A and B are shown apart, each in its own frame.
Chain A
Amino acid sequence: MVYVVDDDPSVRSAIKRLLESVGLQVELFGSAQEFVPGKTRPNVPSCLVVDIRLPGISGLDFQQELAKANVHIPIIFITGHGDVPMSVRAMKSGAVEFLTKPFRDQDLLDAIQLGLEKDRARRQREAEIAVLQERFESLTQREREVITMVVAGKLNKQIAAEIGTTENTVKVHRSRAMEKMQAQSLADLVRMVERLQVSVRTIL
């Protein structure tokens, strides 16, 4: 899915026509305000094609707002009069591409393809983390404590002493947690926990 934000209807329709001709789904917006960030959209790889100069807030400000709203959609900027500082700012903020109007059609298509790929990867990563999160949340408080310390490289004996229980009890917690997390090995568990790290920290 490609979302196009441009105040010029001809440009919008031309882009729509081009993208549809290569089998992409396209949704058009006349301004940044029309593209409401919180709106539920189809959970498919997507990207944004945004004109820098927009009525109301500019394309670059729109990019900031999306980031603030935790919307991690790849953005391709198109502009009629781009300059270097503008493009640097856009790229630094995570833009996929910065194209000057009029652009070559292939350049736009390539950028869109790259954006969609990025989004697809992100979506997959997010989905995996969501699974891991779900698994982690199924753990008891004690199991979470134990595996966090295991991942930190502590021995069962140390963990037992720290939480005031026996080594055997620790072993039970540990094996049950690994089972729940569907970890094949200790290394697997460590990787999972690292991916969850931000979340884990929040939980603890």
Chain B
Amino acid sequence: MIISANVALTGSYDYSEVARSVFIAIAASYAALDLAGRVTAARGRIRLAWLGGGATAMGIGIWAMHFKGMLAFHLPVPVEYHWPTVLASLLMAILASAVALYVASRQKLGLVDALIGSITMGAGIAGLHYLCMAAMRLPASTSYSPLLVACSILLAILFSLIALLMAFGLREETRWSIPRRLGSATVMGLAVSAMHYTGMAAAHFIPTSPPDLSHAVSISPLANNGIAIVTLIVLVAASVTSSVDRRASGEVRQLNLDLERRVAERTLQLEAVNQALRREIAEREQAEEALRRSEDRLRLVIDTIPQQIWSSPPDGSLDFFNAQWLSFKGFTQEEMQGQGWQRTLHPDDRERVVRAWRESVAKGTPYEQEERHQGANGQYRWFLARGVPLRDSQGQIIRWYGTNTDIEDRKEAEGRLRLVIDTLPAMVWSKLPDGSADFLNQRFLEYTGLSLKEGLDWGWMFNAFHPEDRAEEEWRAAFAAGEPFEKEARLRRADGAYRWFLFRGVPQRDELGHVVKWYGTSTDIEDRRRAEEALLEAQDKLAHVTRTQAMGELAATIAHEVNQPLTAIVTNANFSLRQLKSSNPNLDELRAAITEIVNDGTRASAVISRIRGLLVTGSSRRTELEINEIIQDVITLLRNELTRNRVQLRTELAANLPRVQGDPVQLQQVLINLILNAIEAMRLSTEQPRKLVISSANNSDGVLVQVQDYGPGIEPERAKLIFEPFFTTKTEGIGMGLSISRSIIESHGGRLWNVPLSHGALFQFTLPSDRISD
């Protein structure tokens, strides 16, 4: 109840109207809270529409509540309203609502924002209230209690702040948002009403003259209700719209959520799939990397292996060459392809190599050729080119793969070897197992002047050997024996001269031990042989001189030994003769002299016996021996003597001869003596050939040995004397040889004799065998 001065008009409230105004306030509050959520949820133009629409609805609600409240205040005077001012208050209410919605719908609500918003809103509401008051046209002046005005303004601001905070807090849709919103709306509505009625309480109406009623209208109860109904419709419409929107937005959100969930699930699946895919991709990349590396390695191997590698399609047009090949030749892959590879071939090899390659390609047979290729430096080098076809399961050639191996060094070595073989001062040859030549080096051909064809097969013998040396049987036997051999033969030089050569052959065998080839050399030993012959001759001469000298010394000894007694004999005899001539001979001396003569004669005979005995029995050493061995030894000793005197020796030695006891040296002496006698006998003979036959045979006594020459023979009258000491037919002899020989043989229990022949001389001796002597 507003009590003023007694002059003041007393107003009264229509409480149903008040209740309606409070309801409108609550509805407006609810709408405001609801709309704040919508504004917040909306974006862009829709947000602006919601803001505008919401502000209008809310402003109308607030204004309607105020206006209703005013209308509920009944004064005892008619009250009219100045409608432009009322309209202005409505606009102010809408503006204040817009501010409130704007602030409440912001993303964040800072304290400052809240304060500014609440002051603005509070000011707007207060302004609305007091504008409505100002619109009153009544015959009274209005005064205001400043305290209550301030109080109402503060309340407006305070309630605005609360409303903002509540609206901000409730704008999100939650399960409890509608009841909470209802609660909050009730609080807010009551607050707004409280503020309004506080403001109403601040006003005092003093009756005055009637007011200016221009532009004033009177609010009929119908209008009053109309306002309330319109306002409520607006509010309900706003709320419904908001609710629909909210639900729609809720469904949308639900849909969105489902969608998002599904999207999330799908994303997760996709993520997983992606992960797998990425892993797979990584693995593949790794594998590819590995493959690439492996390929790189292979390529590196192919390109760095010290071997030229190529390959070709089945048609033989080479299309791949490794780096070694290309870098050696200094061409690119493209330049070498097709027939390009032939350009580096040595002109001398080109035809052969190309033909061979074509043949291999045509027949599908492995290719192998030695060929020269020109390097980038212009030098030709030898290569061993090998190619093999790669075939598919049907046997069709898919590709050819090949290598070129540098064999320059080997070729060079071969060349050197060939040079060595052709220039070394020996003839080199190879022969088949039967001895027919299949290779003769240049030396051999140059020396003999034969062509290779003439020297092959057995031409090396028949076309080159000295006729006397063409002992085919012997040579064939040597090859047939399959053992390394050394043989000597004279080879005819191109100019016709003959020189002695030493043929050395070594067999090459297969794993079964069969001779597959002979390799050998023929070395010129002419000079060596000459030197040897000269040496042997010199040795012979020396031996001869020595023998002669020995004989001379022997002769001197014998002469001295024999001449001493002879001298004494002759001297004593002369003395005796002198005495006998004398008229008065000294008979004693004469007797003594003659006695000495007799003694010395006896002594001379003894000297000769002694010498013979000395020669025969000197250091005799008996052993059991094979006479054939003695004969062979002697032949060996005298071979050179025989050769030098061109004596052809034939031996006829019987096998299985009994062994004999003897002094090998003495028996050798006897044989040497007999053979040398034979050689000397034939030396003066012009008759050719000079033949000497030595034979051994079984004999009833033991063994019989014969030495037969074809010299001039022995005259019958001399035959009796030849065994006598000091009988000789030779200028150099002392006539002891046969005498001593006979003594030796006789000391062995055998006999030595001469068999008279019409032609030549034959000496025979026997030696008793052990069997006989036992």
A interface residue numbers (CB < 8 A to B) = 8, 10-11, 13-15, 17-18, 21, 53, 78-81, 101-105, 108
Contacts and interface: CB of A to CB of B under 8 A. Distances in A.
B252 interface: no
Contacts of B564: 8, 10-11, 80, 101
Q: For chain B, what secondary structure do more than half of its interface residues adopt (helix, strand, loop), or is it mixed?
A: helix
A30 to B, nearest CB: 13
B556 A10 contact: no
A11 B592 contact: no
B562 interface: yes
A103 B570 contact: yes
A102 B570 contact: yes
A8 B568 CA distance: 9
Interface string B571-615: 110110011000000100100110010011001000000000000
Contact of A10 (B562, B574, B586, B603): B603
Contact of A11 (B555, B571, B578, B589): B571
B567 A17 contact: no
Contact of B556 (A8, A15, A17, A81): A81
A54 to B, nearest CB: 11
B560 interface: yes
A79 B586 CA distance: 29
Contacts of B578: 18, 21, 105
A11 to B, nearest CB: 5
Given A8-B568, A10-B599, A101-B567, A80 B562 contact: yes
Given A105-B571, A105-B574, A80 B563 contact: yes
A53 B560 CA distance: 8
Between B562, B567, B568, the greatest number of chain A beta carbons within 10 A of the residue's beta carbon is seen for: B567
A105 B555 CA distance: 25
B117 interface: no
Contact of B569 (A17, A18, A78, A102): A102
B574 A18 contact: yes
B607 to A, nearest CB: 11
B162 interface: no
A124 B294 CA distance: 132
Contacts of A11: 564, 567-568, 571
B589 A80 contact: no
Contacts of B596: 10, 13-14
B566 interface: yes
A10 B556 CA distance: 19
Contacts of B559: 80-81
B603 A18 contact: no
Nearest to A108: B571
B565 interface: yes
Contacts of B589: 17, 21
Contact of B600 (A10, A80, A104, A108): A10
Nearest to B565: A10
Contacts of B563: 80-81, 101-102
A49 to B, nearest CB: 11
A112 B210 CA distance: 232
A79 B557 CA distance: 11
Q: Which 5 residue pairs of A and B lie closest in terms of their CB atoms, listed nearest first?
A: A80-B563, A81-B559, A105-B574, A10-B568, A14-B571
A78 B563 CA distance: 11
B555 to A, nearest CB: 7
Nearest to B577: A105
Contacts of A14: 567-569, 571-572, 575, 593, 596
A136 B600 CA distance: 57
Contacts of B556: 53, 80-81
A87 B446 CA distance: 63
A135 B199 CA distance: 213
B582 to A, nearest CB: 8
A18 B568 contact: no
Nearest to A12: B568
B598 to A, nearest CB: 11
A8 B603 CA distance: 12
